[in-house]
Structure 1
Amino acid sequence: MEANDRWRITGQLPGGAVPPQAPRNEAPSSAELIQAYAEIARLRTELDTLRASRDEQPPTYTLLLAVHADGTVDVFAGGQPKRVKLSGQALDVDFKVGDEVLIDNEFRVVGRASRPQVGEVAIFAHLIDNEYAVVRLGLRDEVMAIAGSVDAAGLLPGDGLLVRPDARLVLARLNFGTLTDSIAPVGARSFADVAGLSAHINRIRTALDVGTHLASDGVGLARRMATILLHGPSGCGKSLLAEATVNAFVERASGATAVRVRMTALLSKYVGESEGGLQLIFKRARELALRHGRHALIIEDVDMVATGKGSPLAKQLAAEIDDLPAGNTLLVVFTTNRLDLVPAELTSPSRVDITMLVDRPDAVAAREILHRRLAKAPWSLDEAGAAVDAAVERLYASGEFRQAASAAALSRVTRVAARRAAFRAAKTCELLRLTADDLLAAAAAEIEAIRH
């Protein structure tokens, strides 16, 4: 028989052991009560201390994700969204999505934070339903909600955004674009500032007028004139002519703008980043042309897209040219010093409407350039004409200068002549006056510099 069974039947344990007896229900002594009361008091004091320390902890910062009509809000706390209540002091606050708010230890929103927002910089690509944005963060695209303080309708492709990737939220539009290194505003140049290129100016003006008439008449070829390629030696006026051309194009539409794209700054060592940047620039240009009626791009050093046979960047640029909008609203002007390096798909007549060589100035063009540069010089018109003729004759008598002639070289001649005149006036205390000797000496110095 088992021990437990024997205990149940006989009430005895093996070996004559006495079964355990239930303790007597006796009242505690006074000393035990005093000790228990002291322990309770000590625990109550510790609890009050813990409660006070908890209430004294400052509220924590978090992002507001959504506001609901029932007095609750969604916040991003602890790495995930949570729904919390508003405290009494926060019920009358006009919260917006993207606000940084304060929550207490009971997970109640107590107010709006006033510290500057921080996050990461991303590139805006396009909108989705005017509430979400596709942004480019590094080499990946993300879809994020747009904060209430951000004007979604005013965003343009390529704009810089302050984002919180963990909360999938666009916080603000930055005052600078992430394409700042690649694009720059165009100077306030006009055809009146261009000297020695009269034939080029007349051809461009005619093309711009024809394109405008085609667009206004609704002709099927209204997309043209859309692209111009200017090529030639460095320093001969391509950039100046390009700036004057785009300014003449955009001045026909109120609020229209033009930008200059530095292709050298757009190139990146990371695969696909250069193509993505070029795509954003053209997407931004099409959006601006749609908003303001016209927009223009100057793409400098277009030969830089030729990074090898079948260059992905050249293919991307060709695709963007093919996708130019109709209606004579977007003009693209390419410049290059090396036409032989530009891929054939970018120079074909199907993509480039006008190709012009901006060559070294001849003697006639040099006279016009010098007259333009010296128009405000302190001398008489007759003396200026004679001095310019003598300087041009001296310059073009040199074979070295004819081979290296450029508008930049002629500008250096005028600067050296003006500096020579200023030094003479300071030395003799006479009035500043530019003479033919100054111009001839400057021409001789330029020839000597070219020889060496």
Structure 2
Amino acid sequence: MSQLTERNSKLVDTLREARSQLLALREEVDRLAQPPSGYGVFLEQFEDGTVDVFTAGRRMRVSVSPAVESGTLRRGQSVRLNEALTVVEGGGFERTGEVSTLRELLTSDDEEGPTRALVVGHADEERVVWLADPLADSPLKAGDSLLVDAKSGYAYERVPKAEVEDLVLEEVPDVDYHDIGGLFRQIEQIRDAVELPFLHKDLFAEYELRPPKGVLLYGPPGCGKTLIAKAVANSLAKKVAAARGDSAPKDAKSYFLNIKGPELLNKFVGETERHIRLIFQRAREKASEGTPVIVFFDEMDSIFRTRGSGVSSDVETTIVPQLLSEIDGVEGLENVIVIGASNREDMIDPAILRPGRLDVKIKIERPDAEAAKDIFSKYLTANLPIHADDLAEFGGSRSTCIDAMIQHTVERMYEETDENRFLEVTYANGDKEVLYFRDFNSGAMIQNIVDRAKKSAIKSVLETQQPGLRVQHLLDAIVDEFAENEDLPNTTNPDDWARISGKKGERIVYIRTLVTGKNTETGRAIDTANNTGQYL
């Protein structure tokens, strides 16, 4: 009897398992036999429970499955439809489409906020689109790029402007005035031009004095133009924060928009002008919060040349007026200062340089001996490893030893000896002049000399196991730096090269190098006066 009972229970289990497998197979067959589902875009919901969807190129009013809570559907959302065109499932939002530019937000009288937008698409085609729910609450402004589905007529998201991000370096600089050496007078000038109007607006208003709109920093390469611009932004941020009562220095905030000048140029007509408009639009947005904004154009002569001076193009005829309209157009620049830097200020359009635009012109000159000492002191500090022999020579005083090393190095750089002769230039009137390396010195060259000396000190440690920087390392670095500059003068157009290097005045027609170097070679001519070209 027990065996029959056990056999019966096994049979029941087998039948139950077979039945469950048959049900699973039937469900699979039914699923495979179902017709394909369609998709649409949810548009609007009505009181009777029906909804409008956009599907297959037309607008349709359909029912909603009880399994779907109609209150959870959002405008622009994708929905799945069965064969009877009933909404059976809610989906996400479209992630692909066309990129259009927002021109204007549209609001109807019966709407609480903007639900539509006027956008401009490819080939300047205008259309009005709906704003999907995720976009309806976003702060939008004219000029934003929107992702648009042309079929459903919905804009889904704001697309970052990668092209402008590539051209603008938006940062809060950490450079301080103390990091800049040898430019005391220039720093005072730019502080008077930029910081005073921001910090003492009431006094400027009382005296009816208009603050400058822009500053031009011009001078030879490597002399600190970009450093000064960054230091202005940093100092201005700290002083504005202090004036507002912000106790924490980290709360100090300003923006430094560093424009990569040559990359603004675009082969398509109107693109460069559009980028300039977007840059100043960005500056106005940041400045509207009361935060100082500095728009810095490096290599300004590359994009804002004198109109009519182009040899193969005339792009500057429209780029220059665009900048002029942004600086002093109908829409003012509040809390925004424009700073330009150039080593060929003579090539910048005069309309930009006139008073009322770039009001203040500050020349960043090459450092003299005193300025060079100050620059050296920024890179040669008492906490550097110093050779024991050099320390012993000055009684073990690190600061005295460093000062003596700087003094000896500067004297070597600035003395008028045959070793320091660099060029002999011939002017158009036949006069000749000998130029020394000191005439072409710069802060960048001084930094390079110190870096060479430090590298030599490291190699000495590896070779002789005697650590420390010596004055001889600095003197050798000077010789190496001078020797590397021997072949750098451009003799094809010597007058142009001289202008970039900071030598202005009588036109130069011939250049001859006089570098003797370590091996005391005789000077040699590196060009002839026969190839005059269009500049000579």
TM range (shorter): 0.7 to 0.9
Tell me the equivalent position of 2:18: none
Q: Which residue of 1 aligns with 2:453?
A: 417
Structure 2 CA distance for partners of 1:388 and 1:267, relative to 1, 3 Å: same
Aligned to 1:345: 351
Residue 133 of structure 2: SS of its match in structure 1? coil
127-136 or 367-376: bigger deviation: 127-136
- 2:294 match: secondary structure: strand
For 1:172, the equivalent position in structure 2 comes to 157
Instruction: Return the letter of the residue paired with 2:342.
Output: T
Identity %: 28
Map 1:100-115 to 2 at 5 A: 100-114=78-92
Deviation at 1:250, TM superposition (A): 3.8
1:185 alignment counterpart: 170
Inter-partner Cα distance in structure 2 for 1:364 and 1:125: 57
Q: 1:77 offset after TM fit, Å? A: 3.0
Alpha-carbon distance in structure 2 between the residues aligned to 1:300 and 1:152: 38
Contact 1:159/1:177 (<8 A) preserved: no
* 1:86 match: secondary structure: coil
Instruction: Give the equivalent residue in structure 2 for 1:22.
Output: none
Residue 123 of structure 1: how far off its partner (Å): 5.2
Distance 2:47 2:341 in 1: 58
Equivalent in the alignment of 1:12: none
Unaligned runs of 5+ in 1: 1-51
Which whole-Å deviations, capped at 9, do the CAs of 1:407-432 have from their partners, x for residues lacking one?
A: 2111111111111111111223344x
- 1:403 matched to 2:439? The reply is yes
Q: Which amino acid is the alignment partner of residue 461 of structure 2?
A: A
- Going from structure 1 to structure 2, the CA distance change for 1:90 and 1:202 (only over 3 Å counts) comes to same
2:187 aligned counterpart, secondary structure: helix
In 1, Cα distance between the equivalents of 2:476 and 2:300?
38
Superposed CA offset, 1:256-312 (max 9, x none):
423211121111111111111111111121122113443221122222133842610
Q: Secondary structure at the match of 2:73?
A: coil
Question: How many Å separate the matches in 2 of 1:261 and 1:447?
Answer: 32
1:422-447 deviations in whole A, cap 9, x for unaligned?
1111223344x211111111111111
Following superposition, the deviation at residue 124 of structure 1 comes to 5.4
Matching residue within 58, 66, 83 for 1:88: 66
- Structure 1 residue 279 corresponds to structure 2 residue 266: no
Partner of 1:354: 360
Q: Is 1:434 aligned with 2:419? A: no
Given that residues 250 and 296 in structure 1 are in contact (C-alpha distance below 8 angstroms), is that contact kept between their aligned partners in structure 2?
no
User: For residues 230-245 of structure 1, what are the structure 2 equivalents within 5 Å?
Assistant: 230-245=217-232
SS in 1 for 2:337: strand
For residue 387 of structure 1, the aligned residue among 405, 417, 431 is 405
The Cα shift of 1:178 comes to 3.4
Report the CA distance between 1:147 and its aligned residue. 2.7
Write out per-residue CA displacement over residues 208-232 of structure 1, whole angstroms, 9 at most, x where no aligned residue: 3431355345728576233111112
| Cα contact 1:250–1:256 (8 A) shared by 2 | yes
Gaps in structure 2 of 5+ consecutive residues: 1-29, 108-113, 242-251, 309-315, 387-397, 423-436, 488-536
Correspondence for 2:429: none
Q: 1:245 to 1:85 in 2, by over 3 A?
A: farther
Query: Residues 37-436 of structure 1 correspond to what in structure 2 (within 5 A)?
Result: 56-67=34-45, 70-92=48-70, 94-114=72-92, 117-122=95-100, 127-128=105-106, 130-133=114-117, 137=121, 140=124, 142=126, 144-150=129-135, 154-155=139-140, 161-174=146-159, 177-186=162-171, 187-216=173-202, 219=205, 224-251=211-238, 252=240, 255-303=253-301, 304-306=303-305, 308-309=307-308, 311-323=317-329, 328-375=334-381, 376-379=383-386, 380-397=398-415, 398-400=420-422, 401-431=437-467, 433-436=468-471
State the 1:125 CA deviation: 6.0
Aligned residue identity for 2:201: A
Give the conservation status (yes or no) of the 8 Å contact 2:216–2:360: yes
Output the CA distance in 1 between the equivalents of 2:141 and 2:178.
33
Alpha-carbon separation, structure 1, partners of 2:378 and 2:330: 37
Note closer, same or farther for the CA distance 1:164–1:263 as it changes in structure 2 (3 Å cut): farther
CA contact (8 A) 1:146 1:169 kept: yes
Q: Distance in 2 between matches of 1:65 and 1:307?
A: 55
Structure 1 Cα separation of the partners of residues 359 and 36 of structure 2: 67
Calculate the aligned-residue CA RMSD, in Å: 3.2
Partner Cα distance (1:364, 1:426) in 2 = 34
What do residues 45-72 of structure 1 show as CA deviations (whole Å, max 9, x unaligned)? xxxxxxx799724434444445555544
Distance 1:256 1:284 in 2: 13
**Counterparts of 1:359 and 1:324 in 2: how far apart (Å)?**
36
Quickly say closer, same or farther: Cα 1:296–1:267, change in 2 above 3 A: same
Contact 1:159 1:173 survives alignment (8 Å): yes
Q: Cα offset for 1:202?
A: 1.2
Q: What is the CA–CA distance in structure 2 between the aligned matches of 1:334 and 1:69, rounded to whole Å?
A: 62
Partner Cα separation in structure 2 for residue 348 and residue 239 of structure 1: 22
CA deviation after TM superposition for structure 1 residue 101, in Å: 3.2
Amino acid at match of 2:325: A
Rg: which structure is higher? 1
Cα gap change, 1:65/1:425 in structure 2, threshold over 3 Å: closer, same or farther?
A: farther
User: Aligned partners of 1:217 and 1:141: how far apart in 2?
Assistant: 50
Aligned length: 401
What is the distance in 1 between the residues matched to 2:142 and 2:384? 46
